[in-house]
Structures are given as structure tokens and as C-alpha cells.
């Protein structure tokens, strides 16, 4: 029995040993328990069957006694392991690259805007100090920096090349200007006070410069006590002298001394390539004037723009001329123009067809309506019959302002009866305080008859027109005043006729007007070539139609030389602004009124330093003198003097103010965003104004 029990025990132990040593057959499988994806590498935790040698313990019977021993066994086991797998990424959608601009510029780094004033007539001439040189081709808004700039959207005066405010003596006969340090011209030459002194002395030495009368008549001496200070001694008290260097659209620019001092004749010098202190430099231009390309400076941080606001976002900016409004619309719809200036109908067409285009305002009237320009008609008051105030007034009364605004801008603008726009603080400071005077103002029609031309109900009639056109807007008086103005002048063709008859005019058998010498009266209105979108041209179209209805043979003619013809007085009637526009910041109207200063009158053929209409009067000169002697900080006194100047202008009517400038601007957000719309007006919204350069650091590329 004992032997049997031992045999049975050995058999049982042997079975256990065999069972323990025998490898279990396991199907090779991979069970994913966790997957972590990092970029293109996948880390997986898996179960795998692997073959490996392990050390195991077994019990054997030695001499009848169980004994535990360690033995090496090769076997298959299942283990959890981490496996790193390089994933095959899903193919990305290839980025669709737009064709290069002008064949060389990457579209995603390039901003394209239209030139407001049309095709450049002198493409290779950048001498802005002589004549008209299409400054909105990029020189004023990208490559040049003035001493100061006005931003009408914020009301801010921005220190550019100047480091701070002008410092006057108590009697306004001495002026000190501190200059910004760390600025360089785009060729690397440091900007210093020597450049300012050289500029002023050069302008004073040659009558061929636009600003010669201003500096020759006001500056006794100019000096530079150090590299960043300029001192002026003036010939007479002038608290506004520094505004000659204050830019809103045009001012006296500073010449690079190191370039102009070696030029034989600074009048005929074309200054090509243009060298400025702005954040962009000249890249290239079309010799036929269709486009100008500007490239961001590598040392943009040595421009006032870079110092103040940081790096501009677009690497390239193209200012381009489009043949007509249809070309502008097509260019924006195909993302080949980021900014275009349009008509009312053109803007509506863009907004209806493009998912990426937007306007300044999100709803009616959509337009930029805080621009401090007054549009209308300018007369050359040195040429008969426009040298006669009663003839000028007759042409005012021959206009139905409702029809006029409908023709010009589809009724979407605010009219103004005075020579400043009805926007911002101007209505409260000037137009409303003048309303009682305007209501009492009379014209002498002859034979003892007088006529009061002011019409406070004109805005309500324009509002009716706009509603009839399908526009929806509030009916409250405050909105009507803001959108359409406070008043204008009566449509009074009978009164206009009496004024003309009083001055020797007559009608022929067909009812057409004849001049006092019996010859047909023909009015030719000089205007720009952008007939659909330029607001001067829109005034020309509207005025010619109104005067035709009155019996005058009136028409407009567009010329690419308009700027030169206007400034030299080679016109009779023009659709240019009837008055110099105000600063757009504060109540000071010095910029408006001083352009009628008799000191600046030039004969026809010579560039005018003042308003090209060449009107002046002793009454206006007295107002200008009073303003020069008034502290600009005394707002109450400044407004009072400004009102007196506007009364003189209305009485004489050297030009016809019609409506404030409105911008039908279309912005495409396909490549660039963060445009300064009405909901985010961090700066003025135009690409043709000087402060456009201050917009460039805030634009955001979409990455397309």
C-alpha cells in the first residue's frame, strides 16, 4: 500500500509539473486600450503575445522528499506594451494661392486700394512742393510723415515728426517746435532740425514753390539750436502759423536736406525716387500712371508710425487706378481690390453680391459721414460773370437741392448752407447759432424787392425723397438733422431770374440765357475723370442738369489735368470744394477762412497758395487777422470769430456749398480684416488720407 501511495503521489506531482511547464496556445491579437495622438506620432497601449525565456520555480521529489528548484523555461506570454507608431496623416487641403499681384507680389501680403483722384498724370514726378502731384498715390499716406496730423474720426492731433505741441511766445511772434528723436529717412539718413530749416529757407527763396507766399510773408528767420529743436521768428503775430505743418489732406512737407541741397534747380527736380520718413518706401510705379507700389521699410521702426503704433501688417501696398466703377466692382468681387471708393449704387451692388465685403456703417446710409469736407461748386471769381456775387447767388437759387442730392448721391448726404459740413460739433457750434441770421438774410432783387433765400425745411424734403427710394430710417428730428442737415436754400428760379435781369442778362427766343453782351451763356464745369464715384464729379453732373433746366447751356468736362488746371486758375467753374475744409478736430475755422486771405491771391497761370477760386475781401482779411491774434485754446472766442467769417462767406458766396463729403467705401475682408468701421473707428477710414499709415499696424491678415 505504501508503494502504491508513493506511485500515485508521483503521478499527481508529475501531472502538476507538466501542467505548469506546458505553454498554453494563445491567438496573437492586439487590443488597443488607449491611443494618444501627438502631431503625426501615435502612442498605443496594446496586448501582444511574445516568446521569452523566464525563470520559474518547480517542485520535484528527490529521495522521497519534495524539493523546490528554479529552472529556465522558454514560453509564450501575453503582455501589455506601448508601441510608437508613425501615423500616415490625412492629406491636407492644398492652400489655394492667389496669383501674384503685378506678377511679383504675394497676394496674402499685399493690400490693394484704388487711387481716389484718378490716374497719375506725372508718374515720374514726386516733387510735391511744386504744383499738383497726385499725393494720394501713396506719398502722403504711406511714405511721408508730417510734423502733426489730424485724425477726424478720433479728434486727435497726432505728433508725427514733432515730439509735442508748438510753443508760442505770449504775443505769438515766436514759435518753438520740438522734434521727435530716432527718426530716419527711408535711405537711412537721420532726420534732424536741419531738414526743417533747409525746407523753410528753400521755400522762402523761390517764388515757384506752392508755399512761397506763406513763408515769405510770415517768417523773419528760422534756426536750429540743436538737432531736435526748430525756432521761428515771425514777421507778425500768428497763433496758427504751426498749422502750415498740420496735415489732414495736404500741408507743408519736410524736404530731405541731403538730397535737395545738391540739386541744381529744386523747382524742376522730379525727386524720383521719393524719399520720406514714413513706414513705406517706393517700390515701383507704372510709367503710364496706373499704379504705384510701396514696400514696408526694413527699418519701419525709425518712422513715427512705427515708433507710435508698431509694425505695419501689409508688406506691400498698391495704389491702383481703375478705368470705371464697373472695373472696381469686379476687382473687389474677385478679391483683386481690398478697398474701393464707389457710388451709392456701386456700394449696394458690392454688398449684394459679396460675402466678404462690408461698408463703413452696417445699415443706411452705409457711408462714411464724419469727413470734415464740404463739397459743392467753386467759381473762379476773377473771371466774368463769376466775379459778380449776385450772379453767383442766382446760380444757387436755380438749384432744387432735393433733385440735386438725388442726382449726386441718391439723397444719402447731409446738406449745409454754410461753407463747413453739417457734422460733428459744427452744427452746434456754428450752423444752429447762425440760423436766425440765415433766416433774416436778404438778397436785393432790384426795384425795391428783397428775397430771403434760407429754407429750414429742405432736409425734411430730402428725407421724403430717401423714403420714396425705399430707404428705412428713424423719423425723429434728431436723426433727420444728423442724416440730412439743418437747412439749405429755396429753389427759387423766379428770384434767380430777377437777379440776372438786374445785372444785364437776358433770354433768347428759346428761353436760353444770354450774357450781358448778348452772347449765349455757356457754363463748362471742370471735373475729375471718375464721374461715377468722385463726389466732385457727382456735383458737376447734378449742377449741370439743374442749370440746364434753368435755361443755361451747362455741361461738365472731365480732365486728368484737373488738379493743375484748378490750382493755376485755368477754369471758370469747377466741381472742386467751394471752401477749404476745416481741420476736423476742434472748433477752429482758421484753415477754412485763411485760404481766402488776400495775401495768397495769385494771377491766373500761377499756382494759388490760397483757395484757387481767388476770392478775397477786406472783411474776410479782418476776420483772419482777428483769428491769428486769438488764442486757439479760447474756444468761445474762436467760435465767435469763426461765425463772423462764415457770415462774410455766405453773403459773398464765392462758391456754393452743397453737402458734406460722404464716402461710399467698400472693404473686402477676404485678405485683410479689422477695418475701422463705425463700430470700431480707431482711426479715420480712408486709404487716401494722410493718417492711413496709422491704420496699417492694426489691420489683420486672414492667412488666406
Q: What is the pLDDT of residues 538-566, one digit of tens each?
A: 999 999 999 999 999 999 999 989 988 99
Q: How confident is the model at residue 16, as a pLDDT?
A: 32
What gap in Å lies between CA 454 and CA 440, rounded to an integer? 8
Q: Taking residues 521-531, report their average pLDDT.
A: 93
Reply yes or no on whether the pLDDT at 449 is more than 60.
yes
The cell numbers describing 137, all together, are 498715390
Q: How confident is the model at residue 2, as a pLDDT?
A: 39
What gap in Å lies between CA 645 and CA 631, rounded to an integer? 17
Q: Taking residues 582-597, report their average pLDDT.
A: 93
The Cα-based distances of 296 to 289, 399, 670 in angstroms read 21, 48, 21
Using pLDDT thresholds of 50, 70 and 90, give the confidence band for residue 100. confident
What gap in Å lies between CA 307 and CA 180, rounded to an integer? 10
Q: How confident is the model at residue 90, as a pLDDT?
A: 52
Evaluate whether 73 touches 94 at the Cβ level (below 8 Å). Answer: no
The Cα-based distances of 250 to 133, 144, 688 in angstroms read 11, 11, 11
Domain 107-360+672-695: give its CATH code.
3.40.190.10
Q: How confident is the model at residue 11, as a pLDDT?
A: 40
Percent of the chain with pLDDT over 70: 86
User: What is the 8-class DSSP label of residue 76?
Assistant: E
Q: In the chain, which residues fall in CATH 3.40.190.10?
A: 107-360+672-695
Q: Taking residues 577-600, report their average pLDDT.
A: 93
The model's pLDDT over 389-435, given as tens digits with 9 standing for 90+, comes to: 999 999 999 999 999 999 999 999 999 999 999 998 999 999 999 99
What rounded mean pLDDT belongs to the chain?
Answer: 89
Q: Taking residues 291-302, report their average pLDDT.
A: 98
Using pLDDT thresholds of 50, 70 and 90, give the confidence band for residue 95. low
The model's pLDDT over 1-13, given as tens digits with 9 standing for 90+, comes to: 434 333 333 343 3
If you write DSSP's letter for every residue of 12-50 in order, what string do you get?
Answer: HHHHHHHHHHSPPP--------EEEEETTEEEEEEEEEE
pTM assigned to the model: 0.79
Strands 573-574 and 664-668: unpaired
Return the SS3 of 622. Answer: helix
Chain position carrying cell 438786374: 502
The model's pLDDT over 331-375, given as tens digits with 9 standing for 90+, comes to: 999 999 999 999 989 999 999 999 999 999 998 889 998 889 999
Residue 286, preceding bond cis, omega within 30 degrees? no
Backbone angles phi, psi at 5, to 5 degrees: -65, -35
The model's pLDDT over 11-44, given as tens digits with 9 standing for 90+, comes to: 433 443 333 333 333 333 333 333 333 334 444 4
Q: How confident is the model at residue 13, as a pLDDT?
A: 31
Q: How far is CA 340 from the centre of its chain?
A: 11
Q: Taking residues 630-658, report their average pLDDT.
A: 97
What gap in Å lies between CA 210 and CA 128, rounded to an integer? 9
Q: How confident is the model at residue 87, as a pLDDT?
A: 47
Evaluate whether 114 touches 277 at the Cβ level (below 8 Å). Answer: no
Q: In the chain, which residues fall in CATH 3.10.105.10?
A: 374-660
**What torsion, rounded to 10 degrees, do the Cα atoms 325, 326, 327, 333 define?**
110
Four-way CATH pick for 374-660: 3.10.310.10, 3.10.105.10, 1.10.3720.10, 3.40.50.300? 3.10.105.10
Q: How confident is the model at residue 23, as a pLDDT?
A: 38
Q: Taking residues 464-469, report their average pLDDT.
A: 95
Evaluate whether 302 touches 184 at the Cβ level (below 8 Å). Answer: yes
The model's pLDDT over 200-253, given as tens digits with 9 standing for 90+, comes to: 999 999 999 999 999 999 999 999 999 999 999 999 999 999 999 999 888 999
Give exposure, 301-333, as e/b (b: 16+ Cβ within 10 Å): ebbbbbbebeebbbbbbbbbbbeebebbbebbb
Percent of the chain with pLDDT over 90: 78
Q: How confident is the model at residue 202, as a pLDDT?
A: 98
Amino acid at each position: 500500500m505504501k508503494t502504491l501511495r508513493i506511485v500515485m503521489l508521483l503521478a499527481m506531482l508529475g501531472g502538476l509539473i507538466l501542467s505548469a511547464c506546458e505553454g498554453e496556445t494563445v491567438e496573437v491579437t492586439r487590443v488597443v486600450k488607449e491611443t494618444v495622438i501627438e502631431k503625426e506620432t501615435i502612442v498605443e497601449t496594446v496586448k501582444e503575445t511574445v516568446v521569452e525565456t523566464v525563470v520559474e520555480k518547480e517542485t520535484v521529489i528527490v529521495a522521497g522528499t519534495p524539493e523546490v528548484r528554479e529552472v529556465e523555461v522558454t514560453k509564450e506570454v501575453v503582455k501589455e506594451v506601448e508601441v510608437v507608431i508613425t501615423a500616415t496623416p490625412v492629406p491636407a487641403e492644398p492652400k489655394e494661392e492667389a496669383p501674384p499681384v503685378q506678377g511679383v507680389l504675394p497676394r496674402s501680403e499685399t493690400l490693394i486700394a484704388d487711387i481716389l483722384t484718378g490716374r497719375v498724370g506725372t508718374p515720374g514726378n514726386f516733387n510735391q512742393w511744386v504744383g499738383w502731384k497726385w499725393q494720394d498715390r501713396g506719398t502722403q499716406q504711406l511714405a511721408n510723415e508730417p510734423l502733426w496730423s489730424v485724425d477726424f474720426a478720433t479728434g486727435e492731433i497726432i505728433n508725427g515728426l514733432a515730439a509735442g505741441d508748438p510753443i508760442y511766445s505770449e504775443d505769438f511772434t515766436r514759435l518753438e517746435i520740438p522734434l521727435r528723436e530716432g527718426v530716419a529717412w527711408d535711405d537711412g539718413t537721420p532726420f534732424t532740425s536741419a531738414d526743417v530749416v533747409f525746407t523753410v529757407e528753400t521755400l522762402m527763396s523761390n517764388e515757384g514753390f506752392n508755399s512761397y507766399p506763406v513763408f515769405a510773408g510770415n517768417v523773419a528767420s528760422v534756426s536750429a539750436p540743436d538737432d531736435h529743436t526748430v525756432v521761428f521768428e515771425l514777421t507778425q503775430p500768428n497763433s496758427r502759423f504751426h498749422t502750415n505743418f498740420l496735415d489732414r489732406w495736404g500741408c507743408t512737407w519736410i524736404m530731405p536736406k541731403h538730397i535737395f541741397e545738391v540739386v541744381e534747380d529744386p523747382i524742376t527736380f522730379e525727386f524720383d525716387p521719393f524719399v520720406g520718413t514714413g513706414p513705406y518706401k517706393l517700390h515701383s510705379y507704372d510709367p503710364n500712371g496706373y499704379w504705384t507700389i510701396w514696400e514696408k521699410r526694413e527699418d519701419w521702426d525709425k518712422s513715427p508710425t512705427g515708433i507710435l503704433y508698431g509694425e505695419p501688417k501689409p508688406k506691400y501696398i498698391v495704389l491702383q487706378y481703375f478705368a470705371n466703377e464697373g472695373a472696381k466692382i469686379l476687382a473687389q468681387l474677385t478679391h483683386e481690390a481690398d478697398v474701393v471708393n464707389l457710388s451709392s449704387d456701386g456700394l449696394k451692388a458690392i454688398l449684394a453680391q459679396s460675402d466678404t465685403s462690408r461698408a463703413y456703417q452696417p445699415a443706411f446710409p452705409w457711408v462714411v459721414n464724419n469727413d470734415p469736407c464740404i463739397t459743392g461748386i467753386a467759381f473762379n471769381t476773377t473771371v466774368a460773370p463769376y466775379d459778380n456775387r449776385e450772379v453767383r447767388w442766382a446760380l444757387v437759387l436755380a438749384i432744387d437741392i432735393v433733385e440735386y442730392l438725388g442726382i449726386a448721391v441718391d439723397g444719402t448726404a447731409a446738406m449745409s448752407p454754410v461753407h463747413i459740413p453739417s457734422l460733428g460739433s459744427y452744427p452746434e457750434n456754428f450752423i444752429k447759432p447762425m440760423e436766425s441770421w440765415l433766416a433774416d438774410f436778404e438778397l436785393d432783387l432790384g426795384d425795391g424787392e428783397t428775397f430771403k433765400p434760407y429754407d429750414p425745411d429742405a432736409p425734411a424734403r430730402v428725407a421724403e425723397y430717401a423714403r420714396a427710394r425705399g430707404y428705412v430710417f428713424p423719423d425723429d428730428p434728431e436723426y433727420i438733422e444728423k442724416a440730412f442737415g439743418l437747412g439749405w436754400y429755396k429753389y427759387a428760379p423766379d428770384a434767380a431770374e430777377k437777379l440776372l435781369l438786374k445785372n444785364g442778362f437776358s433770354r433768347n427766343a428759346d428761353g436760353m440765357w444770354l450774357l450781358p453782351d448778348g452772347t449765349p451763356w455757356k457754363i463748362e464745369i471742370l471735373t475729375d475723370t471718375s464721374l461715377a464715384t468722385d463726389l466732385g464729379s457727382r456735383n458737376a453732373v447734378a449742377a449741370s442738369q439743374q442749370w440746364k433746366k434753368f435755361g443755361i447751356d451747362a455741361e461738365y468736362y472731365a480732365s486728368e489735368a484737373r488738379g493743375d488746371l484748378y490750382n493755376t486758375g485755368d477754369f471758370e467753374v469747377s466741381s472742386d470744394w467751394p471752401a477749404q475744409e476745416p481741420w476736423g478736430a476742434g472748433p477752429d475755422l482758421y484753415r477754412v477762412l485763411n485760404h481766402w486771405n488776400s495775401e495768397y491771391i495769385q494771377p491766373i497761370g500761377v499756382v494759388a497758395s490760397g483757395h484757387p477760386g481767388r476770392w478775397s475781401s477786406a472783411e474776410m482779411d479782418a476776420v483772419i487777422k482777428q483769428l491769428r491774434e486769438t488764442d486757439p485754446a479760447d474756444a468761445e472766442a474762436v467760435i465767435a470769430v469763426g461765425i463772423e467769417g462764415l457770415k462774410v462767406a455766405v453773403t459773398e458766396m464765392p462758391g456754393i456749398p452743397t453737402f458734406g463729403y460722404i464716402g461710399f467705401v467698400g472693404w473686402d475682408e477676404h485678405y485683410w480684416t479689422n477695418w475701422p468701421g463705425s463700430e470700431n473707428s480707431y482711426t479715420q477710414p480712408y486709404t487716401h488720407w494722410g493718417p492711413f499709415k496709422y491704420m496699417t499696424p492694426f489691420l489683420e491678415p486672414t492667412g488666406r
